[in-house]
Amino acid sequence: MKRTELLDCLWRAQNEHGFVRPQDIAELAAALDISEIEVEGVISFYHFLSRRPRGRYAIYLNNSPVSETKGFERVCEAFQAATGAPLNGVDPSGQFGLFETACIGLSDMEPAALIDFQPFTNLNSIKVKAIVARLKRGDSPADFCDPVPDHVRWVPEGDKAILLRDYTPGNAVARLKEHSPESVLEEIKRSGLRGMGGAFFPTGFKWEACRKDPESPKYIFCNADEGEPGTFKDRVLMNATPGLLLEGMAIAGYAVGAEVGTIYLRAEYTWLKDKLQHTIDHFRKMKLLGRDIYGIEGFHFDIRIQLGAGAYVCGEETAMLNSIEGKRGEPRNKRFFPTERGFLQKPTVINNVETFCTAARIMQLGADHYLLTGTQTSPGTKLISVSGDCRLPGVYEVEWGTTVREILERCEADRPHFIQVSGPSGECISMEEADRAIAFDDLPCGGSFMVFSRSRDILDILRNYNRFFKSESCGLCTPCRAGNFIFEKKLELFAAKLARTSDVEDMRQWGEIMKMTCRCGLGKTAPNALLAAQRKFPEYFEEIVNRNPERLSKGFSLQDAVREYDRFSS
């Protein structure tokens, strides 16, 4: 048994018994020749793995900021009443477990939950009662879960759509007959394609670096762990055009000389796994995966799926690699890029779903076609996941250069006031900035676009973000571990109307420390929304800062206390 099989083995044990038993841990430790403590350390790292029973039916209710605005508390209370399970616990009979969890990629259909990893959307108290009644009758969640529509709300007019256009399997890979690996790299570089996950590193240069590395074998990894709250555009791509993703990965394999690809699929998208696997099997039969793909001699490439287990930090590429290698999903020290030392210390290309899909379209349509859309410095289109206070939540394919105001108009936003771009780790903006463009040189967007109206309290939103980062921090580095805890205490002061002006400055300083010293990109971006909110909404913080010295006084005098003690003890 290989260490890289550990995560799959843990899932098999949990799926069979409802939790990972002590004997499972002992057997796996013996098979891998590692300590039981090390296996337990891997289990404890992930939200969805457990060493204790979590009920016959495990209910995971999304607690994202959009969910909170759509009725999370009422739905949570309804589940507790119907199941008898406390939040983050199991009912006395052991039938139901009820747990809150971070964004599950269904922000366009909130409140939402996963029951045995099957999706249930647009929840309310009545629907919850009906769901639990069926579960009590013994019905399987897979038999009556909700369908998940793609909610594609907007595509560019004419022939400008890149991703959300008709798809025919094999059209992109077929173009490889006209290209050498080197010319594929040149086409991708010429298109100006950048990674679509948030770092926006030039894709062609990343692939080229991997190809030029003398080490082998080389690997292709798709990061399908879109855990940033409010993001669901990769979900739509995998559901609508899974073949496009596979073609993009195969093209990358051809370009860099890799024969093995892996899709790291977040556990929250378990319900998509069968569809992806069916597409992989179909592609093998069509000779679009396997050996001598599409009749191109020597072009060998195949893909497997690795299911994650619930850890936001595994969206960071080196943490994802550790997870796939059967270790705790903690970020590595950045001494080397994955293209130098990635999976098993070999050259590895890591891109997200949207990037691979876009690369496939570029090879199908040509770089010249791609360059006709967007702007000179930000070519192409971008998928935006819109949610929150708007009438038309869903996925919007927009040209780079589209303004925030245009997106708000298209989604029919309701009195927009606080807009979170790229999720909690991104940037919040006010309506004064609504004419800013979604572009690399202005307001880059990884995919999440959450709209909050004037009826929402900014402090509630920020406290939700803080709980998320505090919970999802791997805890390895002190700035992230301590910084998020300090933010929590400071925000509690604001909520209690006890914060001073100095507390605002303290948070700013801690935020800057985290941005400079945290180990990984996720820790560095954790304070982004809080710092941006202080800059963009100064009048709000002015209003909630308490300037009454008497109110802030603790009302405690050491001298008076000593005198009282002497009086009672004499």
Which CATH number goes with the domain that contains 112?
3.40.30.10
Backbone angles phi, psi at 27, to 5 degrees: -65, -40
Angle between helix 353-365 and helix 242-256 axes, rounded to 10 deg = 80
What tokens appear for 60 in the block? 């995971």
Shared-domain flag, residues 208 and 250? yes
Backbone angles phi, psi at 384, to 5 degrees: -115, 130
Residue 197's pLDDT band, with cuts at 50, 70 and 90, is: confident
Shared-domain flag, residues 68 and 181? no
pLDDT digits (tens, 9 = 90+) for 334-359: 889 999 999 999 999 999 999 999 99
Residue 199's pLDDT band, with cuts at 50, 70 and 90, is: confident
CA 288 to chain centre: 29
pLDDT for residue 553 is more than 70: no
Shared-domain flag, residues 419 and 359? no
Mean local confidence (pLDDT), 131-157: 97
* pLDDT of 556: 60
Closest of 196, 220, 216, 217 to residue 207, by C-alpha? 220
Shared-domain flag, residues 164 and 189? yes
Shared-domain flag, residues 81 and 33? no
* pLDDT of 521: 84
Residue 563 lies in a domain: no
* pLDDT of 550: 54
> What letters, b where the CB count within 10 A reaches 16 and e where it falls short, cover 534-548?
bebbeebbeeebbee
Mean local confidence (pLDDT), 155-184: 96
pLDDT for residue 558 is more than 60: yes
| Domain enclosing residue 86, as ranges | 57-144
Mean local confidence (pLDDT), 197-201: 86
Residue 469 lies in a domain: no
How many domains does one find in the chain?
A: 5
pLDDT digits (tens, 9 = 90+) for 488-544: 999 999 999 999 989 999 999 999 999 999 988 888 999 999 999 999 999 999 898
Domain end point (choices 370, 392, 417): 370
* pLDDT of 554: 55
Is residue 457 classed as helix, strand or coil in its secondary structure? coil
* pLDDT of 546: 74
Shared-domain flag, residues 432 and 526? no
Domain at 278, CATH number: 3.40.50.11540
Residue 548's pLDDT band, with cuts at 50, 70 and 90, is: low
Residue 566 lies in a domain: no
Shared-domain flag, residues 279 and 298? yes
CB 251 within 8 A of CB 172: yes
Mean local confidence (pLDDT), 375-382: 97
Closest of 83, 63, 77 to residue 125, by C-alpha? 77
* pLDDT of 555: 59
Q: In a 10 Å sphere around its CB, with 0-12 CB exposed, 13-18 middle and 19+ buried, how is residue 64 labelled?
A: buried
CA distance 81 to 100: 15
Shared-domain flag, residues 257 and 315? yes
Domain at 489, CATH number: 1.20.1440.230
| Residue located via tokens 């690996």 | 181
CA distance 363 to 380: 13
Which residues are registered as beta bridge partners of 393?
A: none
Q: Which of 487 and 562 is assigned the larger pLDDT?
A: 487
Q: How far apart are the first and last CA of the chain?
A: 75
Mean local confidence (pLDDT), 294-316: 96
pLDDT for residue 551 is more than 60: no
Helix and strand numbers, DSSP H then E, in the chain: 25, 15
CB 320 within 8 A of CB 314: yes
What tokens appear for 294 in the block? 């599409």
pLDDT digits (tens, 9 = 90+) for 7-32: 999 999 999 999 999 999 999 999 99
CA 542 to chain centre: 33
Shared-domain flag, residues 22 and 70? no
Residue 560 lies in a domain: no
pLDDT digits (tens, 9 = 90+) for 419-436: 999 999 999 999 999 999
Contacts of 468 (CB under 8 A, 6+ apart): 64, 102, 229, 312, 424
Mean local confidence (pLDDT), 294-304: 97
Contacts of 47 (CB under 8 A, 6+ apart): 101, 102, 309, 310, 311
Mean local confidence (pLDDT), 30-47: 97
Closest of 439, 405, 449 to residue 228, by C-alpha? 449
**DSSP structural state of residue 290:** B
Residue 570's pLDDT band, with cuts at 50, 70 and 90, is: low
* pLDDT of 461: 97
